[in-house]
Structure formats: C-alpha cells, structure tokens
Amino acid sequence: MNPVHSVHGAVHAYATESRLLMGTTVDITVVGHRPDDAVQAAFERAFGAMSFVERSCSRFDGDSALRELCRRPLTPVRVPDILFETLRVALELSELTGGAFDPTVGAALENRGFSRHYLTGDATLAHRPGDERATYRDIVLNEDERTVLLQKPLLLDLGAVAKGLAIDLAARELDGWQGFAVNAGGDLYLRGTDPTGNPWTVGIQHPLHQDAMISRLTATDAAVCTSGSYERRSPVSADAHHLLDPRTGESVRGLLSCTVVAPMAILADSVSTAAFVSGDAERALTLLSGLGLAGLCVDEALAITKNAAMEEYTK
C-alpha cells in the first residue's frame, strides 16, 4: 500500500526521506512548515526508533538480542526490555488468535528459504536447527526477572509485531507535525492531513499487478497494514509464500491479501497476518469484527469482501 497524494487544493510544505530498515524500504513524509534542521532532526529520531527495534528483534541479524536468545534454549535469558515487551505482545496475540499468529514460526520460514538478510543477501541460518513443532506455548516470560525461557530449541520470528512496533515508535517521534505518514513497505501509520490538507488516501495494491491498485481507502490517525501472499515467494518452492499457517507449517491458500485499519500498527500488522492465515474472507472478517477492527480481504478470484467497519474508510 502507498499513500496517494491528491492534486486538488493548495499543497502544504512537506518533506520525504527513505531508508532501508526492517527488511524493506521505509518512507517517512512530514507535513508542515519547519526549518530544514528541524525536519532532519525529526527524520533522525523516527528512523532511529525503528533501528532500535530492528537491532533487538531481527531474525536476520546474528548479533541481535533475539538471535542471542534463540542460541540459549532451556535456560532463562535476561533480554532487553524492547524484546521482552515485543514478545509479550506476540504471545498475547497468539492466545487471542488461537495460534494463527505464532512467533515460533521462524524455523519453518528458514527451512523454506526465507533466510537471507535484506541488505547483504547473505544467508542467516540459525546456530542450531529450530523445532518446527514448537509453539508460542513453549515461550515462558518471567515478569519479575525480565527473563525469557525457550522450552524447546526454536527460532523466533517477530516480523509483523516488531515491524508494527517500529512504525508506532517512529510515529511517536513525529508527534506535533501537521501531518505525517510512516510507510514501511506498504504498512502505514497516518496522522493529521496530507500535503493537500486532506485525510490520507491509501491505495491497496492489486495482488496480481504490481503497479496497479485494487481498492483505495481514506484514513487519518490510524495504521493501515496489509498481509499478502504476493509480497515474498519462497526461493526453494515456486508454490510457497512467506505467510505460513504456524499450525501446519504450510503456505496459506484462499486469500491473496488482507488489509486492516487499527489504532496502532503493532495491532494492524500482526492481526492482518492472523486474518490472512484463516484462509477465508468470512473467517478473517469475523476475527477482525470481533476485535472491533476494519478489514478488507481479496480472495483468489479477486473478489473484494469487507466488514461494516471498513465502510467508513472506503466510502
């Protein structure tokens, strides 16, 4: 997804900067009149917040706190607060979705070829093989000691939760601007107004045509995140994509994408993944409606289905 700037009306001062982070290109746009040094300082704070999350929570960085934790199963490990809290959210979402979202899916992803660092292209294989039978129930958090116990050898993947958290922390650093958009590879947080003074318009990518949009929505003060099978394909299996059902280890069929609007990106990104894993628009939208979130699904026949809450954003 991408913000779509209208050409109607007066255009306010704005600036955009892009960097490679969180396995994708991150674009940040700020709207409002500020001195150049204030604009650059805002970018540095926002991108710095995202880098902070990545350094602790990346599956692809051998030096990250997450990878260090995975090298030490069967013993309590004290971890940085950012990793502890990210895991807490991930486990809460796992319970909430009945395991449709599960941070222990890393070994299954690695075994299907999703193991190369986005900047270097180098393979980032785990120090020891993870057990694909592991589930989120094999992760034990100790609140008092701030430790994590992995009860089996496993490889964590906090992708959606960490990415959503990074977006939310970047957004916090941009508070006070007339408007801003944080766009991490199509997962967005939008605040205030766009450069034309209107709410942000977001294009939802067509699953089969990279340069086309299949739908649009309008939002502000909200996160908009999409999970889609078209985003990453397995290098070892032409039929496999990166959105696995953690309960089976197989790529999910039935849907091509699921878009969620939520108050925070950490919620929108992770729940869009869980909704997609349901494999069926009705089940996905039932999950989202039960959580009070707006959702839009595109199935393999390119049929678009949305719940009542999404009508507010697509009318």
Q: Is the pLDDT of residue 97 over 70?
A: yes
Q: Measured between alpha carbons, how far is 160 from 162 in angstroms, rounded to an integer?
A: 6
Mean pLDDT, residues 34-42 taken together: 95
Answer whether residue 9 shows pLDDT above 60. no
What domains does the chain contain, in order, with CATH numbers?
2-11+178-314 (3.10.520.10), 56-160 (1.10.3980.10)
| Mean pLDDT across 25-47 | 96
- Would you state the torsion angle of the CA atoms of residues 260, 266, 143, 131, taken in this order, to the nearest 10 degrees? 80
Q: What digits encode the pLDDT tens for the residues 41-82?
A: 999 999 999 999 999 999 888 899 999 999 999 999 999 999
pTM of the model: 0.90
